Amino acid sequence: MVPDTAPLPAPIVRPQSRWVPVRWAELPGLAEDDIHQALGAWQLSCERPPAALTTLCGDLRRLSMASHAQVWHWLQTHMQPYRVESHSGQAVGMLTAYYEPFLRAQRQPDERFRYPLYGLPRGFGSRRPWYTRQQIDTLPEAQAALAGRELAWLDNPVDALVLHIQGSGRLLITEPDGRQHQIRMAFAGTNDHPYGSVGKWLLDRRLVRDATWPGINAWVQANPQRVQEMLWSNPRYVFFKEEPLEGVDQQLGPRGAQGVPLTPGRSIAVDRSSIPYGTPVWLHSSGPTQKLSRLVLAQDTGSAIVGAVRADYFMGWGAEAGDIAGRTKQDLRLWVLWPKGAPAP
């Protein structure tokens, strides 16, 4: 351990938060983290690093061969931890989680696979906000703008909604010749309408007591005649672009708002007015769904991720990741790690 006795720097004030300098001893669970897992995600951030962190990227490549103790020595030598608080001094916030759904799809529709995933519509930039989810489903002019922009077809409208909410997903797609392969549906844009929570819509109408995705799916199975009404309660609509999914890309998530691939368990979405993209962050949450004390990277954002101490934790892909992500809503504390002597972001 590096002696942690130097005078602390001044706090840093961000538009949405205040960073308060602390000693390394304040960070819980330092000895428990497999720090080398985080270095890989940090190296990906070096594709598009914040200016203050650029000079550290060369060291990060060399640290991949260093011991656990050497990595921690480097961190404590070069980085200053800051507790993230709201301007009113609130240091406890909320952690949620997200993931990439893994779904079956077809390139051509049939009686079963009849729910489309669209690319950007024609004339997209000429009307903002674009049509709502309900208008997209019902207005001839909206449907005309989307004709021919179908990228793939799903067999379940709720799966399509989940893909919209998560922002990207993996598809096992069947081509017209019967060939199957994996592709990624990556985020391309939205209709610029606010996100509406279908879970809140169900709770407000006292239709469910459990608004997790397992609870929502149980309601959907019991009430098929009201599913469309539930879907339309969320006016926000996401458009996609297709990306290949092969080689090393299969081991990484989609590109987040920073423009670099997300790493399962090491990437978070943040409010960038609180924490800039590419910043290393010590994350602590006591559960109940997940107990976490680890180094992560701020590499993404989301329409619901707003506030000083707020993060969405990238779980990875598939059903297990989705189950955990759907149940994660718990306490959160954050400490940014900022280079010693560097100017405030």
pLDDT at 211: 87
Instruction: Determine which of 2-6, 20-24, 171-175, 334-338 has the lowest per-residue pLDDT on average.
Output: 2-6
pLDDT at 64: 85
Domain boundary pick from 219, 250, 281 = 250
Q: How many folded domains does the chain comprise?
A: 2
pLDDT at 193: 96
Look at residue 198 and tell me if it is in a domain. yes
Q: Domain holding 24: CATH number? A: 2.40.40.10
pTM of the model: 0.88
**Co-location of 259 and 244 in the same domain:** no
Structural domain harbouring 84: 15-97+251-339
**Co-location of 69 and 160 in the same domain:** no
Domain boundary pick from 229, 250, 271 = 250
**Co-location of 107 and 153 in the same domain:** yes
Look at residue 7 and tell me if it is in a domain. no
Asked whether residue 214 carries a pLDDT value surpassing 70, the answer given is: yes
CA-CA distances (angstroms) from residue 132 to 42, 162, 192, 299?
37, 17, 9, 28
pLDDT digits over 48-97, tens only? 999 999 999 999 989 988 999 999 999 999 999 999 999 999 999 999 99
**Co-location of 325 and 234 in the same domain:** no
pLDDT at 1: 58
**Co-location of 245 and 109 in the same domain:** yes
Domain boundary pick from 200, 230, 250 = 250
**Co-location of 157 and 297 in the same domain:** no
Q: Domain holding 234: CATH number? A: 2.40.240.50
**Co-location of 129 and 271 in the same domain:** no
pLDDT digits over 307-326, tens only? 999 999 999 999 999 999 98
